[in-house]
Structure 1
Amino acid sequence: MNIDQADPAEPASLRAAFDIDDGGESALGWEAVHAFEADHGIVLPEPYRTFVAEMTDGSCSGPPDYGLLPVADLPGDWGDDERDRDLSKPFPLTEAWMWEEDPDASDDSDEVLEQVYNHGSIVLGTDGCAMNWHLVVTGPHRGHVWLITDVGAVPFGAQFGFTTGESGFAGWVRHWAANKPWHDAA
């Protein structure tokens, strides 16, 4: 997983997974990507950065179940605390945390929980029922995809033991495309 330089082989697999065939019309463009990054004090990890700049900024096809959100959007059921999100502050986790089952959770856990939802990640989209996929943009797990739900958070990728897929945005997309039962049925 290279989060600083796009792999030349990845654009074709990403286009195929998202069924993008609009010549880049749905892409955000480099100027808008640079503006977003400057506004938030971050640099998006590759290959997601190139994906939104050159291919598409959001898609109804592809992962997750309800589609990929544009880079600056949040799921419709997110609530009204959008103003508290700070992408430049580090995402606080480096290992799975199931707070609903954590006997060591304390009053300090609420503060960390707020950071899990609001620091250092963009929301890629939702599988519904408060199951949101995040791409970490700041902190030790920069470039990794996490599933954050109302009961816990887990990193995506074989190295973490929760799936056979590769870590990162491209690995998450490839895993979804390979395991989508209706992928070739249409």
Structure 2
Amino acid sequence: MVDQQWSGVRQRVVALRAQPSSGKVFGSLGHRWVLEDPLTDDGLAELEAQIGVRLPDGYRSFLTRVGAGGAGPAYGLFPVRRVRGRWRWEGDGAELADLAMLARPFPEHGPDPEDLDALLAVRPEEEDFEEIEDFDDAIEAWDERWEALMYAPERTAGAIVISHLGCAQREWLVISGPHRGSIWSDCRADDADLVPLLDQDGKPVTFARWYNDWLREAELTAHQPATNA
């Protein structure tokens, strides 16, 4: 049943690549509609043995039925590759995920709200300083504290970065813990916390839902008739 949800998906992506108007799809100039070769069963087993956890069913079957990465939401699905005998995900920000912590449960919550509120309450404001140089020094020191709190590796244990939306905004796939299999949005570059992607019913978006929704929207965009200016 899980494998059936990917039936024909690779062929649909290939067909989109041949569409003259497929360049209208956001991010397509990044992935160019190219899919990596699927992983072999042995490759998948080796990957999971290395990270110490079984990947969510929808994602693991995608890797073996569709491809190990490439064409996908935004600028593409980060590929997982074997480099010098070790598996890793590659892409803009993929290194934010600590591969040694993937078997640990993804945190139930973000940073302690009291810690976060306290830090936001003391964020320097330019009007509080007579000299712009003093403000620059203060905001730089504050940014360091913010990044230490928000980008602590423990906050994204049990998850991998799978896509880049531009402007340092990314999406994560949780592979361990109660949120396993769901996609989370990362806008920490805009001083916002990680949040789960939710559907219209308020339910967490799974990897399969995330990818298939994108593919349907891409097909609609690519097949829209040209409009006269």
Same fold (TM over 0.5): yes
* Equivalence for 2:154: 115
For 1:40 and 1:46, locate their aligned partners in 2 and report how far apart those are by CA, in whole Å: 16
Pair 1:87 & 2:87 matched: no
Q: Which has the higher helix share?
A: 2
Q: After TM superposition, give the deviation of residue 120 of structure 1 in Å.
A: 0.5
Map 1:25-174 → 2, pairs under 5 A? 26-59=37-70, 61-63=71-73, 65-71=74-80, 72-77=88-93, 85-93=100-108, 102-103=116-117, 110=149, 113-117=152-156, 119-150=157-188, 151-158=192-199, 161=202, 167-174=205-212
RMSD (Å) for aligned C-alpha atoms: 3.7
Identity %: 27
* Equivalence for 1:3: none
Q: Higher mean Cα deviation, 11-20 or 145-154?
A: 11-20
Q: After TM superposition, give the deviation of residue 159 of structure 1 in Å.
A: 7.0
Q: 8 Å contact 2:94–2:162 — kept in the other structure?
A: no
- TM-score scaled to structure 2, two decimals? 0.60
Structure 1: state its 5+ residue gaps. Answer: 1-5
Deviations 1:124-168 (A, max 9, x none): 11111121111111011001111112121111222773xxx8720
- Which structure has the larger Rg? 2
* Number of equivalent positions: 169
Q: 8 Å contact 1:17–1:62 — kept in the other structure?
A: no
Deviations 1:39-59 (A, max 9, x none): 111101111101112320111
* AA in 2 matched with 1:156: L
Deviations 1:19-71 (A, max 9, x none): 489xx971111111111100111101111101112320111x221x1111113
Q: 8 Å contact 1:14–1:170 — kept in the other structure?
A: no
Q: After TM superposition, give the deviation of residue 11 of structure 1 in Å.
A: 0.8
* AA in 1 matched with 2:175: V
For 1:17 and 1:122, locate their aligned partners in 2 and report how far apart those are by CA, in whole Å: 26
Structure 2: state its 5+ residue gaps. Answer: 18-34, 81-87, 121-144
